[in-house]
A = this chain, B = another copy of it.
Amino acid sequence: MIFTRRFRYRFGDIDDAGIAYYPKLLHYFHCAFEDWWADALGTPYPTVMQQQKLGLPTVRLEADFFAPVRYGDEPDFHLGVLRIGSSSVEFGFWATRGDDPRPLCRARVVTAAVHMDTMQTRPLPDDWRERFQPFVIGEQEFPSRR
């Protein structure tokens, strides 16, 4: 199952070339990640971090930017889980515009499960492992080119 959330690209998100500043595209991927917790998993990410002391900081990132995003675009940002490890989770994010299925950009994001008080690696709790399971996608579902 793929989680999708549309974001309106904002006035202050544009760089001087008139297109999306790429750190902002990664910011929107993170927004999709936060909304996935709150709206798909049913537990807001702040609650997970503050009450369960579980964080999933990014340790590795690979991103491709295939086509420019402009002010006023409202891309759909998609999230799928590519791999669930013992203490890590790998996510695939990509963005599309309107009915065009070709990705504007994509990112493979490897996160580590950490304890929020120490920022040290911890095993991924089993209940989260199970709740992530429906969002697992195959590599062939993660678009590799435009």
Binding site for B on A (CB under 8 A): 8, 10-12, 14-19, 21-24, 26-27, 30-31, 34-35, 38, 44-47, 49, 55, 57-66, 68, 71-72, 116, 119
Contact = CB atoms under 8 A, between A and B. Distances in A.
Nearest to A47: B72
Contacts of A119: 17, 19, 68
Contact of A21 (B12, B59, B61): B12
A64 B59 contact: yes
Given A23-B30, A26-B26, A11 B60 contact: no
A19 B16 CA distance: 9
Contacts of A23: 12, 23-24, 26-27, 30
A21 B17 contact: no
B62 A34 contact: no
Given A60-B65, A72-B46, A72-B47, A14 B11 contact: no
B11 A15 contact: yes
A34 B21 contact: no
Contact of A10 (B11, B18, B34, B58): B34
